[in-house]
Amino acid sequence: MLLDAFNALMDIWVLVAAVSGIVTGIIIGAIPGLGPTMAIALLIPVTFTMSPIPAITLLLGVYQGAIFGGSISAILLNVPGTPSSAATAIDGYAMARKGEGGRALRVALYASVAGNIFSCLVLIVLAEPLASFALNFGPAEMAALMLFALLVIVLFGGGVRLDAALMVLLGVFASIIGLDPIEGTPRFTFNSFAMENGLQLIPVLVGLFAMSEVFLKLFQKQSSIKEPVDLPKIVPSKVRFVDMWRMRATLLWSSLIGTFVGILPGIGSTVPAFMSYGLARARSKQAHKFGQGADEGVAAPEAANNAVTGGALIPTLALGIPGDAVTAVILGAFMLQGLAPGPFLFRDYGVEVYAIFEALILSSIPTIIFGLLLFKVAVHVIRIQPRHLFPTITVLALLGAFSVNNSLVDVWVMLGAGFVGFLLRRADFPLPPLLIGLILGTPLEQSVRQAMLTSNGSLDIFWNSGIALALLGLTAISILISLCIPLLRKQRQQKGSSNV
Amino acid sequence: MSGNLSKLWANSGLQSLVCLMLAVFAGLGLWTLDTQVQVFSFGDSLFDARFFPRIVLGLIIVTAILCCVARIKKADDPVGPLTGWIRVLLVVGTLIWALWFMPSVGFLISSFIAASATALVLGERNILLYIGLPFLVATLVTLGAQYGLNIPLP
C-alpha cells in the first residue's frame, strides 16, 4: 500500500501543488489575522479541477506553511500571525531584539518540520487501525462517540464552557436545516427547494472565517495599524544539526504533546504550544533563560503546534470527527474530492490517503527550502494595509461560496454566515465549536435515531454494547475531570495564600 | 429577584443581546416546529423528524438563558460604537445589492462593486486603489474562475 501510494506521488503536479501550498501558506500565515483556516477555505475552489492527491496536498501545504508563517510575525514583531504562535513570541521576540531573529526563525522552522514529521508518522501508524476498529461501530457506538467528541470540545476547548455549549448546539441546529436524514422530510426550509440541500459546509465556513473577518476589520477600522512597522535587522546566522540534536528531548516531548492533544477534538494548537513551552522550561537546567531568548523556548511551541497537524488528522480521517477548525475545513475539502472521511476511507481510498500522508512528510523538504528563502520576503507582507487586502478577500469569498454548487443560494448562505460569525466573534463566542457541531450534527442525529428506532426506544442498546458503554464512561470521566480541575486549582490557591 | 434583574440589565451588552436573540429564535423554532417539519407517519413514533430539533432547540433555549444569567456576575462587552456598526451595515447592504443584481449584471461587476465598497469603507481614498485594484482583482478572479477552473459564473 505504502509503495503504491509512493508511486501515485510521482507526479509533477503533486510537487507543484505542495510548493504552491507551502509558499501561499507561509505568506498568508505571516499576516496577522489571516490564519490557515481562512487561507484553506478561500483556496478550496482552486482545487475543484484537480485530482484528489494534488488537491489535498496543496491544502495541507497551506496548513503547514501557514503555521510556520504565523511564527514569522510572532518572532520579528511580537505579533502572532496565528494564535498558536503566541507561545513562540515569548522567546522568539526576545531573541529578535538581541539581533538573533534569523536564528530564532531557523530554530522555529526546523522544530516545525520535526514536529510535523513526528505527527505524520503517528498518523500513518494510528489512523488505519482506528478506522478498522471503527468499522465495528453500530449506531449506538457512533452516537456515543459523537456525544463524547462534542462534550470534549465544550469541556476542554478553553474559554467559557456555556458559550462553547451554546455554539455547539447552534452548529447542530444548523445541520438540521434541510432534508431529514432518515425520513427525507424537509425541516426549516421555509418551502424553498434550494434549502432542501441544507447549509453547505464550504459556504458556511467561508462566511464564518473569511467574511466575518472582513466585517470585523470594518468595525475596528480606527484601530488598524497605520504607522510603518519597524522590523528588527535579521543578521545572517546558522543553526547546525548539533544545535537541534541537543534539543532532541524537548522536540520529542513537544511533538508528543502536540500530536496527542491534537487527537482530542476542539482543543486546537494553542494549548499544546503553551503546554510544551511550560514543560520545556520545567525540564531545562537553564530555566532562567526562558523568556529572555532561549532556543528551546522557540523550538518547543513550534514543534508542538506543528505536531497538531498530524494528530488532528487522525480522528478527522479515521472517524470523520475534526480535531479543530482547520481540520474541519480539510474534512470539507476531502468530501468535495469524493473522499468521505470515516471508517470506510482507508478501505475504499487507501492509496490516495497514504499518498497524501507521504506527501505531508515529504513536503517537509520544500518547507525548509522555501521557509529559509521566504522569511525575509514574508515579513514585508505584514506591511500590507487591511484596506488593500480585505477587498480581495471579499471577492474570493464570493467566488468560494458560489463555486461549490454553482449556486447563488450558497453565496447568500455565506453572507448570512459571515454576519452571524461577525456578531458571535464580537460577542466573544468561539466559532470552532459551531463548525464542529455543524459537521457532527447530521451523523449524531442519524445514529441516535437509528439506535433508538432499532431498539424500539429502549436505552438498553447503549448499555448492552461494550464500546458504547466505554465511550459513555469516558464522557462521564471527562465531565468529572472538568469539574474537579477548578476545585483542585481553588484548593491549591487557598493553600498557597495560607502558606504566605 | 428584582435586584438580580436590575444587575443583569446593568451588566448586559452584546453577549446578553446575542444570547437573548438565540433564545428567542430557538423559541420561535419550537413554536413553529409542527408547521416547519411536517411528519406523515403511519404509526406513532417518538423518534420522527421532529425528535432531534425539539431536543436541540430546547437545549439552546436553556443554555442561552443560562449564559444570560451567568452575566449577572460580570459586565458584558459594550455593543460598540455606532459608526462601526454603520460601516459594517453599509458593506452588508452593498453585498446584498450586489448579490441581488448578480444574475443580471454578472459576477465581475457585482464583485468589483462589493470589493470597491469594502475598500472605500475601510478608508481608502486613492482612486487607483479603491477603483483600480478591486477591478483588477475582480477581473483576474473572474477570468481565472471561468477559463482556468471552468466555473460558470453568472
Q: Is pLDDT of A491 > 70?
A: yes
Contacts of B91 in chain A (CB under 8 A): 214-215, 218
Stated length of chain A = 500
Q: Please tell me the distance in Å from A446's CA to the nearest CA on chain B.
A: 9
The confidence score (pLDDT) of residue A337 equals 86
Whole-angstrom Cα Rg for chain A: 23
Residue span of the structural domain in which B24 resides:
2-71
DSSP string for A162-209: HHHHHHHHHHHHHHHSEE-TTT--EES-TT-SGGGG---HHHHHHIII
Q: Which residues of B touch A428 (CB under 8 A)?
A: 15, 77
In the 8-state DSSP scheme, what is residue A83? G
Residue of B12, B16, B17, B18 to mutate for A, most A C-beta atoms under 10 A: B18
pLDDT digits (tens, 9 = 90+) for A144-198: 999 998 998 888 877 788 999 999 999 999 999 999 988 888 999 988 888 888 8
Return the half-sphere exposure (C-beta side, CA atoms, 13 A cut-off) of residue A61: 31
Cβ separation A452–B47 shorter than 8 A: yes
Q: What average pLDDT does range A296-319 have in this prediction?
A: 90
Q: Name the residue in chain A with its Cα closest to that of B78.
A: A427
pLDDT per position as a tens digit, A17-27: 999 999 988 88
Give strand pairing partners of A186. A179
Which of A183, A217, A448 is facing B49, going by the closest CB pair? A183
Instruction: Say what the pLDDT of residue B15 is.
Output: 86
A186 chain-B contacts, CB cut-off 8 A:
37-38
Same domain flag for B88 and B142:
yes
Model confidence band, residue A251 (pLDDT cutoffs 50, 70, 90): very high
- A269 or A251: whose pLDDT is higher? A251
**Is A173–B145 a contact, with Cβ atoms under 8 angstroms apart?**
no
Q: Is the residue at B77 inside a domain? A: no
Which residue is closest to A161 within chain B, CA to CA? B67
Q: Which three cell numbers stand for residue B43?
A: 404509526
CA neighbor of A316 nearest in space, from A14, A4, A63, A19: A63
For residue A224, what pLDDT is reported?
47
What is residue A32's three-state secondary structure? coil
Chain B residues in contact with A427 by the CB 8 A cut-off are 14-15, 17-18, 77
Run of H or E residues at B123: none
Rounded to a whole number, what is the distance in Å from the CA of A370 to chain B's nearest CA?
A: 26
Copy the grid coordinates of residue A235. 543578521
Express as a percent the part of chain B with pLDDT over 70.
88
| Closest residue to B145, CB basis, from A224, A399, A427 | A399
Each residue's pLDDT tens digit, A254-265: 999 999 888 887
Mean per-residue pLDDT, A372-384 = 75
User: Do residue A394 and residue B92 have CB atoms under 8 angstroms apart?
Assistant: no
Portion 200-239 of A in contact with B at CB < 8 A: 214-215, 217-221, 224
Find chain A residues with C-beta within 8 A of B49's C-beta: 180, 182-183, 185, 187
Percent of chain A scoring above 90 in pLDDT: 27
The count of CB pairs under 8 A between chains A and B is 182
Q: Is A387 on the interface with B (CB under 8 A)?
A: yes
- Whole-model pTM? 0.86
Instruction: Identify which of A58-62, A275-279, B45-49, B57-61 has the greatest average pLDDT.
Output: B57-61
**Per-residue pLDDT tens over the stretch A184-241:** 889 999 888 888 888 988 899 889 988 999 999 999 875 444 455 566 666 667 778 8
> Which residues of A are less than 8 Å from B51 in CB distance?
449
Contact A185 B37 (CB under 8 A): yes
Q: What is residue A153's predicted lDDT score, i.e. its pLDDT?
A: 85
Residues of B within 8 A of A175 (CB-CB) are none
pLDDT (tens digit per residue) in A89-115: 888 888 888 888 888 889 999 999 999
Instruction: Quickly state the pLDDT bin for A323 (edges 50, 70, 90).
Output: confident
The answer to whether residues B10 and B29 belong to one domain is yes
Question: Is A35 in contact with A384 (CB distance < 8 Å)?
Answer: no
Nearest residue on chain A to B86, judged by CA atoms?
A219
Closest residue, chain A, to B59 (C-alpha): A169
Of B47, B118, B154, the CB nearest to A453: B47
* Interface contact B99-A415, CB threshold 8 A: yes
Tell whether B153 is covered by a domain: no
ipTM of the complex, rounded to two decimals: 0.91
Q: Domain boundaries in chain A?
A: 1-136+242-390
Q: In this structure, are strands A186-187 and A178-179 parallel, antiparallel, or unpaired? A: antiparallel
Helix runs in A225-344, H state only: 241-246, 248-263, 270-283, 295-319, 325-336
pLDDT at A379 over 80: no
Least confident span in A124-133, A317-326, B85-94:
A317-326
Question: Nearest by CB to A394, which of B36, B45, B115?
Answer: B115
Write the pLDDT tens digit of every residue in A121-150.
999 999 888 888 888 888 999 999 999 989
pLDDT of residue A173: 96
CB burial of B82-120 (b: ≥16 within 10 Å; e: otherwise) equals eebeebbeebbebbeebbeebeeeebbbbbbbbbbbbbb
Q: In the predicted model, what is the mean pLDDT of chain A?
A: 86
Cell 516531548 -> residue: A253
- Looking at residue A187, its pLDDT comes to 92
Q: Give the pLDDT confidence score for residue A500 in this predicted structure.
A: 56
A399 inside 8 A of chain B by CB? yes
Structure confidence at residue A233 (pLDDT) = 67
Task: Tell me how many domains chain B contains.
Answer: 2
Residue from A341, A339, A336, A340 nearest A313 by CA: A341
Cα distance between residue A170 and residue B31, in whole Å: 17
For residue B5, the distance in angstroms to the closest alpha carbon of chain A comes to 20
At A34-51, the pLDDT tens digits run 778 888 888 888 888 888
pLDDT in tens, A398-448: 998 998 888 899 999 999 999 999 999 999 898 888 988 998 999 999 999
B2 or B100, which is more confident? B100
Q: Which of A258, A6, A232 is nearest to A113 (CA)?
A: A258
For residue B98, the chain A residue with the least C-alpha distance is A398
Beta-bridge partners for A178: A187
Contact B151 A445 (CB under 8 A): no
Q: Is residue B154 part of a domain?
A: no
- The pLDDT of residue B12 is 63
